[in-house]
Amino acid sequence: MSVDSLQTLANVGKGESTRTTLRVVILFLIAGAAIASRLFSVIRFESIIHEFDPWFNFRATKYLVANGFYNFWDWFDDRTWHPLGRVTGGTLYPGLMVTSGIIYHALRTLTIPVDIRNICVLLAPAFSGLTAFAAYLLTNEMTPSSSAGLLAAVFMGIAPGYISRSVAGSYDNEAIAIFLLVFTFYLWIKALKQGSMLWGALCALFYGYMVASWGGYAFITCLLPLHAFVLICMGRYSTRLYVAYTTWYALGTLASMQIPFVGFLPVKTSEHMPALGIFGFLQLLAFLDYVRSAIPKGQYQTFLWLFAGGTFGIGLAALVVATSAGIIAPWGGRFYSLWDTSYAKIHIPIIASVSEHQPTAWPAFFFDLNMLIWLLPAGVYLCFQQLADEHVFIVVYALFGSYFAGVMVRLMLTLTPVVCVAAAIAISNVLDTYLSAKSPKPEDRLSDEATDAAVKKAPKGGLKSTSKPFVGVYSIFSKGAVVGAMTIYLLLFVLHCTWVTSNAYSSPSVVLASRLADGSQHIIDDYREAYQWLRQNTRDDAKIMSWWDYGYQIGGMADRPTLVDNNTWNNTHIATVGKAMSSREEVSYPIMRQHEVDYVLVVFGGLLGYSGDDINKFLWMVRIAEGIWPEEVSERAFFTPRGEYRVDDEASDTMKNSLMYKMSYYNYNTLFPPGQAQDRVRGTRLPEVGPTLDVLDEAFTSENWIIRIYKVKDLDNVGRDHASASAFDRGIKKKKATKKRGPRVLRVD
Amino acid sequence: MKTSAVFSAVLSFVTLASTSSAASSSRTDLPSTFTPPQVFKNANLVHVISLEKNYVKENINVVIENIDKAPQQDYFLPFTADQISRLGGVEVKDRKDASAGPFGAEVVGVDPKSDLQYLRIRLPTPLKPSAQQTIGITFYFLKAYNPLPASIKQEDTQFLSYSFSAYCPSVYTTSKQKTEVKFPSATVPDFTKLPGSGEVKEFPQKQGSKLTYGPFDEKPAGALEPVQVRFEFNKPVTHVARLERDIEISHWGGNVAFEERYTMFHRGANLSSLFNRVKWAQSQYYQPATHALKEIKFPLRIGSADPYYTDVIGNVSTSRFRSNKREALLEIKPRYPLFGGWKYPFTIGWNSDAKNFLRTLSGNAYILNVPFLEGPKQPEGVEYEQVEVRVILPEGAENVKYSTTVPVSSITDADVVIHKTFLDTIGRTALVIKARNLVDDFRERELVVSYEVPLLASLRKPLIIFGSAVALFVATYILGSLDFRFSSK
């Protein structure tokens, strides 16, 4: 009796309910930290949608909220890609917008007056809290130590690799997709471990949600079959695997085909073939398994070889035939660039022109993951030590993820979850070993055994040889040193994450911040100044031509039709705009007239030293235009004879006569004393005489000259061409063909 | 003093039912054969047209005489249909007796299609035969000017033109009258000249920034003499097409929140060539007078706090707020300088302590006294075409009554609606008052609203939230203790 009560007393701190409460509290705190660390930009600037793509998602969400789901589904947007339009409802991943729409309507039902913009801005931080929780669940499946799960949750919450895509305002597909990715993996592991159809179905459900949300779903589509394949190769085929995989594949594929943008891709494209192949392979294995139990061993061997060889041959032949016949689409360009990093640069400049499609630089790994990156191998090693089915998953994921993260900067995002899980396993292993305050003593060992065996007090002085050999850390100093070092690492990690988030990932890029001489913050808001001007003071259907980077922003903020935008589905159309920008005025004007362009918008950073401007992007326009019209646009002609890209006096004639150059520097020299015009981005002095524009009128220039808007002139009233009309306005006399006068003749009456 | 003012305000409360009926009857249509009876004579008339702001303020001071045999009460003033649509802020007073208070004045239409419309002024007491009374009629015209030339360069000076009649339009014979026109500056390059009478050879006479047509001798009813003036007005012609003003009262928070949404236009001369940033930036160094709208100042009530200034694409960072014991001045700059023909819609809002505006009358009866308009205070004036003031009272407020010192003829509609927000169950009572054609002269006018909030209504929300939370927990508990498995081992 007394012993029982003593034990209950001792177990108060260790009670299951206390631990659960603690765990829940800690998880809530982690979610809070994850959300809080993403709010830098809201606090510094305002609740604003960031960058480029989020503006489209925001606009689509507003459309969904205003017009309802079915209209959204059938949305044909005639305000983009003028005059082609875009079947927006069928060419987007609706998961993000629908999620925000549901949250919006739920809150409205509770009559909470929340603005859809705030939902969109805060969606990514809110989902990062959920991601942390999903990472906790996933890690718990890997190791019995629940501290590993909590560590993984913390890492997931604040790792810059994930924060980079999920700060407040970064309303992009990745905002919810990473949560779905991690959670789908958790459900997969759960289904695999239990061989449960229920978990498999749940996994398929979340996979379907993931497909609805992000193009990166292909990562799951390839990783799960790979995991299954590796397990099969390791001789670990089991009914559990069969049940989990087939449930996921059958339901998941059906679910994914419900999204119009995906449609029949899962049975048509090469990216989805591994999943189908493994599905078929598992059926064969299951069949063989059955046959083996039914027929004698000798016959089985022959049967096996014939059967396996035949099936493989037929399958391969079918694949080749289907691919060459065009039933299965070949690999897409973005996919090729995953294997050959210079592929895009040569063949598809439009993909290469996006900075996030560039190969990753080595420091980026440390920048985005800090110490986690060197803990990853340790975690993977620990997984190797146990190597149950779920650990194989981590190993496969780590290898796969590391490769892709090395190829494309933005795929750092898919690597981050596994790095967090592996690092958490490693750290918790170290801490669990070194953090026990008691030094192991022979007597303790005995009592440990005694309690382990859950028997009454064992008699002292049992046989030493019968007890297990005990390995442990005896010195308090080494414990202290290791734990101390780990603590310092962890603290440094937090510092690093905060610093990176605050400095690198929290700028809305629509609004720029600078400091005044007295240290106060000054907001440079040129983008919105110009977009607001366009929105209020131009016709509702005035077509705006700009480089495609600004298409989504113009659609979202200025609410005007654009020619091209960040949904780069039509390379020719983009090249047309590139050609208009890079050609002479006489060439550009017909292009602009044909596309009913009313205004042309360029970004110019020369006054402020804003380097992301159009002159710096100009070569990509030239290259993309050259891809379609090699005879008319030539990249070489934009360089000086010595191969330099210059904008000053030395610039080539093609450069100086290009519409982009003229629009950027038009009137700019009048801002300076004669001959003193400076371009602060290129750091050069500009020609004393600025360019002249004949076919365009300057319509608006923002305060710091970042955005310049030009109005396309109408045809001349008296039928002159624009060059002579503006020459006339400038007062330059047209040279008349001098009439040959004959010799004077005396007039005779 | 204060309490008596409040008391008199309470006494003068109009219940909503009666106001709305009055509002709907504010435009009575008379038979198309109607002609105002010739029962009055304008013994002497002074017509003051003030063009100093970007709206026209007209003031007709007239000595009227009853020439009929019976006592008369209705005095008519003619307007064209176009003028009626732009007419606002009509106030009629007795010039001799200030304590008589404003007279009733309402627009009566003869025929919706007719160009001739009337304003009927009802004298408080019928005027006896051959008695005289001096009345002062003040009203405003919005959208009154045309820029001339219609488009100018960015750095040019803006000129506006205004057409009116040198003889004050009247349906009665006018014995003697003169028309004074006041300008913002002495630069009046063009004005119509009329042959003089008496010792004056030629009308008008110019004195500084004032032109005087008249005095004229007797003119018959309906006599008109169209004249046009063109004058320098190098200031923005700010026009608010629509102002939505929300005033939200929170008893729990002890706060009154204001939000105003403006749809602002510049009705001045358009730019003849498109906007040139270089010239604009260079001219900013020496701050010249310009017709572009660069800055808007809102002197708010002292004690206003947490202002915000946004537009449809987010926060606008170019604003300053100076708040101390003496003032609470919100200065905002539009994202871009506003030139003629340009539009700039924006939203501002701020909070204030409820005790600055709200008073408890007795128990659960409250009285709120807020400015009807708190728009910008600009030297050139601001005109408002449509104003919608929405006073959102606490949930369950009842017995709502209001009174306002804004001219009754400007108020077109008043209604009590339900506004649901912040976990409301039955919704908040909101008083919506619509007014038209107001100008910033009325920005100090009061809006007094009285209402009652029963104790139960104010406790409803906490009780409901508590109840639903408990229900949720109980439901979770019951669901959690149920066993859905097929077989329990």
Model confidence pLDDT, tens digit, residues A349-406: 777 777 777 788 888 899 999 899 999 999 999 999 888 999 999 999 999 999 988 8
Q: Does A535 touch chain B (CB under 8 A)?
A: yes
pTM value? 0.89
B420–A111: do the CB atoms touch at under 8 Å?
A: yes
- What three-state secondary structure class fits A377? helix
Nearest-CA neighbor of A579 among A567, A597, A561, A566?
Answer: A597
B315–A48: do the CB atoms touch at under 8 Å?
A: yes
Q: Are A524 and A701 in contact (CB under 8 A)?
A: no
The beta strand positions in A565-686, using DSSP E, are: 597-603, 678-679, 684-685
Give A-chain residues touching B271 at CB under 8 angstroms: none
B317–A523: do the CB atoms touch at under 8 Å?
A: yes
Looking at residue B425, what is its pLDDT?
A: 87
Residue A734's pLDDT band (boundaries 50, 70, 90)? low
**pLDDT tens, position by position, A138-185:** 999 998 887 899 999 999 999 999 999 899 999 999 989 999 999 999
Shortest distance between the Cα of B421 and any Cα of chain A, in A, equals 5
Chain B stretch 105-134, residues whose beta carbon is closer than 8 A to a beta carbon of chain A: none
Shortest distance between the Cα of B475 and any Cα of chain A, in A, equals 19
Q: Are A149 and A424 in contact (CB under 8 A)?
A: yes
**pLDDT tens, position by position, A672-701:** 888 888 898 888 888 888 898 989 999 999
Supply the mean pLDDT for chain A: 86
Neighbour-count burial for A594-608, b at 16+ CB within 10 Å, e otherwise = ebebbbbbbbbbbbb
Looking at residue A9, what is its pLDDT?
A: 56
B314–A523: do the CB atoms touch at under 8 Å?
A: no
Shortest distance between the Cα of B486 and any Cα of chain A, in A, equals 14
| Interface with chain A: mutation pick from B313, B422, B426, highest number of A CBs within 10 Å | B313
Q: Are A707 and A614 in contact (CB under 8 A)?
A: no
A537–B278: do the CB atoms touch at under 8 Å?
A: no
Shortest distance between the Cα of B275 and any Cα of chain A, in A, equals 6
Enumerate long-range contacts of A649-652, CB under 8 Å, 24 or more apart. Answer: A649/A687
Supply the mean pLDDT for chain B: 87
Most confident segment among A91-95, A647-651, B102-106: A91-95
Q: Which residue of A has its CA nearest to B308?
A: A46
Looking at residue A738, what is its pLDDT?
A: 57
**pLDDT tens, position by position, B338-395:** 999 999 999 999 999 999 999 998 888 999 999 999 989 998 999 999 999 999 999 9
Give B-chain residues touching A671 at CB under 8 angstroms: 278, 281
Residue A740's pLDDT band (boundaries 50, 70, 90)? low
Which of A45, A113, A700 lies at the smallest CB-CB distance from B275? A700
**pLDDT tens, position by position, A402-434:** 998 888 888 899 999 999 999 999 999 999 888
Looking at residue A61, what is its pLDDT?
A: 95
Based on the number of CB atoms within 10 Å of its own CB, is B239 exposed (0-12), middle (13-18) or buried (19 or more)?
buried
Q: What is the Cα–Cα distance from A607 to A666, expressed in whole angstroms?
A: 13
Q: Which residue of B has its CA nearest to A698?
A: B274
Q: Which residue of A has its CA nearest to B314?
A: A48
Q: What is the Cα–Cα distance from B230 to B187, expressed in whole angstroms?
A: 9
Q: Does A557 touch chain B (CB under 8 A)?
A: yes
A533–B424: do the CB atoms touch at under 8 Å?
A: no
A525–B422: do the CB atoms touch at under 8 Å?
A: no
**pLDDT tens, position by position, A721-732:** 888 888 888 877
Query: Average pLDDT of B158-176?
Result: 92
Dihedrals phi, psi of B218, to nearest 5 degrees = -60, 130
- The CA radius of gyration of chain B, in Å to the nearest whole number, is 27
- Find the range with the poorest average confidence among A113-117, A508-512, A640-644, B23-27: B23-27
The residue type found at A654 is T
Query: Average pLDDT of A665-669?
Result: 90
**Which CATH fold would you assign to the domain B238-267+295-333+341-463?**
Immunoglobulin-like (2.60.40)
Looking at residue B17, what is its pLDDT?
A: 38
Give A-chain residues touching B317 at CB under 8 angstroms: 511, 523, 525
Query: Average pLDDT of B275-295?
Result: 86
If one compares A249 and B363, the residue with the highest pLDDT of the two is A249
Q: What is the Cα–Cα distance from B104 to B122, expressed in whole angstroms?
A: 5
Q: What is the Cα–Cα distance from B34 to B26, expressed in whole angstroms?
A: 18
Give B-chain residues touching A711 at CB under 8 angstroms: 274
Looking at residue B4, what is its pLDDT?
A: 41
Size of interface A-B (CB pairs under 8 A): 74
Looking at residue A408, what is its pLDDT?
A: 84
If one compares A191 and B2, the residue with the highest pLDDT of the two is A191
Q: Does A667 touch chain B (CB under 8 A)?
A: yes
Nearest-CA neighbor of B244 among B261, B258, B228, B219?
Answer: B261
Domains of chain B, by residue range, sit at 36-232, 238-267+295-333+341-463
CATH number attached to the domain at B36-232: 2.60.40.1730
CA terminus-to-terminus distance, chain A: 152
Half-sphere exposure of A744 (CA within 13 A, CB side): 1
Give B-chain residues touching A536 at CB under 8 angstroms: 342-345
Looking at residue B330, what is its pLDDT?
A: 94
Q: Judge whether B36-232 and B238-267+295-333+341-463 match in fold.
A: yes
B313–A698: do the CB atoms touch at under 8 Å?
A: no
Shortest distance between the Cα of A530 and any Cα of chain B, in A, equals 8
Which of A111, A529, A698 lies at the smallest CB-CB distance from B422? A111
Q: Does B469 touch chain A (CB under 8 A)?
A: no
A712: tokens are: 């396309």
Distances from the Cα of A701 to the Cαs of A416, B76, B312, in angstroms?
A: 42, 53, 20
Q: Is the pLDDT of residue B196 over 70?
A: yes
Structural domains of chain A sorted by starting position, each given as residue range(s) with its CATH number in brackets: 177-330 (no CATH), 525-729 (3.40.50.12610)
Chain B stretch 261-320, residues whose beta carbon is closer than 8 A to a beta carbon of chain A: 273-278, 281, 311-318
A143: tokens are: 């190791």
Looking at residue A10, what is its pLDDT?
A: 55
If one compares B118 and A442, the residue with the highest pLDDT of the two is B118
Give B-chain residues touching A531 at CB under 8 angstroms: 313
Q: Is the pLDDT of residue A627 over 80?
A: yes
Q: Does A528 touch chain B (CB under 8 A)?
A: yes
Half-sphere exposure of A138 (CA within 13 A, CB side): 31
Query: Average pLDDT of A711-716?
Result: 90
- The CA radius of gyration of chain A, in Å to the nearest whole number, is 33
Query: Average pLDDT of A329-345?
Result: 67
Shortest distance between the Cα of A668 and any Cα of chain B, in A, equals 8
**pLDDT tens, position by position, B228-237:** 999 999 999 9
Q: What is the DSSP letter of B171?
A: S
Q: Is the pLDDT of residue A264 over 60?
A: yes
Looking at residue B3, what is its pLDDT?
A: 42
Looking at residue B488, what is its pLDDT?
A: 55
Shortest distance between the Cα of B424 and any Cα of chain A, in A, equals 6
The residue type found at A330 is P
Residue with tokens 């023909």: B341
Query: Average pLDDT of B98-103?
Result: 74
Give A-chain residues touching B342 at CB under 8 angstroms: 536-537
Query: Average pLDDT of A530-556?
Result: 93
Give B-chain residues touching A55 at CB under 8 angstroms: none
B278–A557: do the CB atoms touch at under 8 Å?
A: no
Q: What is the Cα–Cα distance from A339 to A337, expressed in whole angstroms?
A: 5
Q: Does A698 touch chain B (CB under 8 A)?
A: yes
Looking at residue B32, what is its pLDDT?
A: 66
Shortest distance between the Cα of B208 and any Cα of chain A, in A, equals 38
